[in-house]
A = this chain, B = another copy of it.
Amino acid sequence: MVSRRATTMRDVAIRAGVSTATVSNVLGNRKAVDPELARRVRQVAAELDYQIDRAASQLRTGRAAVVAIVVPSLDNPFFTGFIAAVERAVQGEGYDIIVSSSNGDEAQERARIAAMLSWRPSGLIVVPCTDAFPARDLTDFSGAPVVAVDRIAGADAISHVSVNNRAAARMAADHLIGFGHRHLLVCASSLQLANIRERCEGVQQALAEAGLPAPSIVEVGQTLEVVPTILAPHLSSAEDRATGIIALTSTATLGVLSAARDLGLAVPDDVSLVGFDDYAWMTASTPPITAVRQPLDMLGRAAWDLLKRRMASPGGAAERLVFSCRLEVRRSTRSIGPPLVKCIIG
């Protein structure tokens, strides 16, 4: 296969007997062009398999029709599901996506964002690996529109989309409380993340309002293998052991499942479990897992919408969009008694 020079706009122009400006106008739907000429241009372009050179177009216009996405990991279905949603949203508006993973590391995040920025993308969507998002100076400096996703503390100057974490976690807790559970265990990935902290608070509030004891919160990290070991002591003490567990991420959910199995605890007979995020394996699992479903598709679409708003008016105010989650009730939770009726004295 010999590498040949690609067809240029000039080639098309010559063959169609017009100027490159006209070709550009036709192909970019930019200025009114005589219909007959336009038809001819399009036909020649098709015949020659003409593909615009984006580098040249970009150099001239100063911005590429591309949105850059940086996520903490490409091996996590939550992030890849989000990317898929963004891709669906930008499709058909002529934008492509470039994606990069920060591997959950701030230094890498910074480097990856810098690299993405050198494409002069139309915008940048980032799921920061910590909620401080220290790479913000980079994006500020470049002037590229940015939308942050999911984890961000101090939602001041940056547009962002997220989920109502507190409400989602309350919903999970209320479900368990309604099933008569009084002692809950929260299995969190990392309390360094604002979204995880919010979820914890949601559970705490629900319990407090029901007049029940505060939940135990255990931090299990992001690595599945170690979760059972960390969890074991909390699940073994037969006496005041939690009867209901809320796992705050899908990895945590998997971890709880492993731990319970290793300890010979049956779900939901011995412990009820509410998971987070909603994947195919949760419904195929035995028992199917009751879980809080985050609207990934909406999140992706919203990120793109917000980005477009920033692109249209870079000077405008930052916006935030918060989505609600749904609880998919399945079979990993069971009633162990009547819900405690809240006692209001005074």
Interface range on chain A (Cβ under 8 Å from partner): 35 or more
A117–B73 touching, CB < 8 Å: no
Give 18 new A-B contacts, CB below 8 A, not counting A87-B100, A281-B285. Answer: A1-B140, A1-B315, A3-B143, A6-B143, A52-B118, A54-B55, A56-B59, A74-B80, A74-B81, A74-B83, A75-B80, A80-B83, A87-B101, A96-B100, A96-B119, A257-B284, A258-B284, A286-B286
User: In the assembled complex, which residues on chain B have CB atoms less than 8 Å from the CB atom of A258?
Assistant: 283-284
A156 at the binding interface (Cβ < 8 Å): no
- A interface vs B, CB < 8 Å? 1-4, 6, 49, 51-56, 58-59, 64, 66, 73-75, 77, 80-81, 83-84, 87, 96-101, 114-120, 138, 140-143, 157, 224, 251, 254-255, 257-258, 261, 279-281, 283-286, 314-315
Q: How far does the alpha carbon of A284 sit from the alpha carbon of B256 in the complex, in Å?
A: 9
User: In the assembled complex, which residues on chain B have CB atoms less than 8 Å from the CB atom of A66?
Assistant: 98
Q: How far does the alpha carbon of A50 sit from the alpha carbon of B284 in the complex, in Å?
A: 51
User: Which of A53, A56, A75, A251 gathers the greatest number of chain B CB atoms within 10 Å?
Assistant: A75
B74–A64 touching, CB < 8 Å: no
Q: List 22 A-B contacts (CB under 8 A).
A: A1-B143, A2-B314, A3-B143, A51-B117, A51-B142, A54-B118, A55-B56, A55-B58, A55-B119, A55-B120, A74-B80, A74-B84, A75-B84, A87-B100, A96-B98, A96-B115, A96-B116, A98-B99, A254-B284, A258-B283, A261-B284, A285-B286
Q: How far does the alpha carbon of A8 sit from the alpha carbon of B49 in the complex, in Å?
A: 34
User: In the assembled complex, which residues on chain B have CB atoms less than 8 Å from the CB atom of A141?
Assistant: 49
User: In the assembled complex, which residues on chain B have CB atoms less than 8 Å from the CB atom of A96?
Assistant: 98, 100, 115-116, 119
User: In the assembled complex, which residues on chain B have CB atoms less than 8 Å from the CB atom of A261?
Assistant: 284, 286
User: In the assembled complex, which residues on chain B have CB atoms less than 8 Å from the CB atom of A83?
Assistant: 74, 80, 99
Expressed in whole angstroms, the minimum distance between the Cβ of A3 and any Cβ of chain B is 4
